[in-house]
C-alpha cells in the first residue's frame, strides 16, 4: 500500500504547532461528509500559548472526532 512508501525524517523541533495544525485540519474538514475524524500523531508537546479549549470547541462545533497517538 501507499503507506509502506512513507518514511519519517527530521525531528528535534520541539515543541510542535499541534493546536494550530488541528485548527487548520478542522477547517479543511468543515465541508466534508458527516463522518469526520482527525488523527494526531506526535512525539512532542504543543507550543506554548496554544488554546486547547478553542481547539476542543471547534472540533465539537464541527462534530469532528479526534484521536491522539
Given this model, what pLDDT does residue 19 score? 96
Work out the average pLDDT over 46-62.
95
Which pLDDT band, with edges at 50, 70 and 90, does 10 fall under? Answer: confident
**Inter-residue contact 36 to 64 (CB < 8 Å):** yes
Given this model, what pLDDT does residue 40 score? 95
What would the DSSP string read from start to end of 2-65? GGGG---------SB-HHHHHHHHHHHHTTS-S-EEEEE--SSPBPTT--HHHHHHHHHHTTEE
Amino acid at each position: 500500500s501507499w503507506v509502506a512508501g512513507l518514511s519519517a525524517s527530521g525531528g528535534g523541533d520541539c515543541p510542535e504547532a499541534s493546536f494550530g495544525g488541528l485548527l487548520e485540519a478542522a477547517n479543511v474538514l468543515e465541508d466534508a461528509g458527516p463522518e469526520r475524524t482527525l488523527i494526531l500523531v506526535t512525539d512532542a508537546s504543543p507550543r506554548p500559548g496554544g488554546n486547547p479549549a478553542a481547539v476542543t470547541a471547534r472540533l465539537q462545533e464541527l462534530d469532528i472526532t479526534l484521536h491522539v497517538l
